[in-house]
Amino acid sequence: MASNALVLFSGGQDSTACLAWALSRFDRVETVGFDYGQRHHVELACRQNVIAEIRRQFPDWNARLGQDHLLDLGLLGQISDCALTSETEIRFAESGLPNTFVPGRNLIFLTFAATLAYRRNLGVLVTGVCETDYSGYPDCRSNTMQAMQLALNLGMEQQFRIETPLMWLDKAQTWQLAADLGGEALLDITREHSHTCYLGERNRRFDWGYGCRTCPACELRAKGYETFMKAYQGEVGR
């Protein structure tokens, strides 16, 4: 079993939970983020804040947490023409997918992550994709991840393992995972420092964190938090 992992870390709720998951399992964990001209560019600053708080509040995890990498994938944003890379109103396209879908994004992210992992001798790629509470993106599905693992291993003659700890969790369960892994401290880090909002809104604070409250990402995060808190408060009150 590989003892080292590379977490695809955007600084959002899901990747924060995945980072904690990896730090609880692997001896050495590195992180990689991507600057692809995203509309919510503020997430690149938030990801650094999340990493800093995890280092500060979790000494055991800090000892395992290695180098952070930020890759410039600006070309992806230039050719995507979607609501995540331009000032376009968020809506559903004729395909049935929201126009926040960046075609090939996760495929490209995993390819570059694997290239980095090859050089850094990291055997596991951890990504927060999910097909339970999600917007229908085809590159978040389990069969896509299985196909990518096969393609990367064939193309690089490696034995990478792609781990998707959130694949079958809804957003409430993702909040619960954070609570199980890091307790109230990790919940606070997620609420205060992680970023999910597609519009990059950081001026409005809700119980679940910062955002616009109306984009698909905020709606999923808020609904999941409400469901989680009802159960969490019941457990704490016992």
**What residue segments make up the domains of the chain, in order of their start?**
4-195
Stretch 51-56: mean pLDDT:
98
Report the pLDDT value the prediction gives residue 225, as an integer from 0 to 100. Answer: 98
| Per-residue pLDDT band at 62 (split at 50, 70, 90) | very high
Neighbours of 72 (CB within 10 A): 10
pLDDT, average across residues 19-41: 92
% the chain with pLDDT above 90: 71
User: Domain 4-195 classified CATH 3.40.50.150?
Assistant: no
Q: Which residue has the tokens 């590379």?
A: 6
Cα first-last separation, the chain: 39
Q: What is the mean pLDDT of residues 62-75?
A: 94
| Predicted confidence (pLDDT) per residue in 136-182, tens digit | 788 889 999 999 999 999 999 999 999 999 999 999 999 999 999 99
Strand (E) or helix (H) holding 62: helix 59-64
182 exposure class (CB count in 10 Å sphere: 0-12, 13-18, 19+): buried
* Choice between 208 and 232, residue whose per-residue pLDDT is larger: 208
Say which range, 2-6, 44-48, 49-53, 101-105, has the weakest mean pLDDT: 101-105
Query: Alpha carbon 106 to chain centroid distance?
Result: 11
Q: What confidence score (pLDDT) does residue 115 get? A: 97
Give the per-residue pLDDT at 148: 97
Banded model confidence at residue 132, pLDDT cuts 50, 70, 90: confident
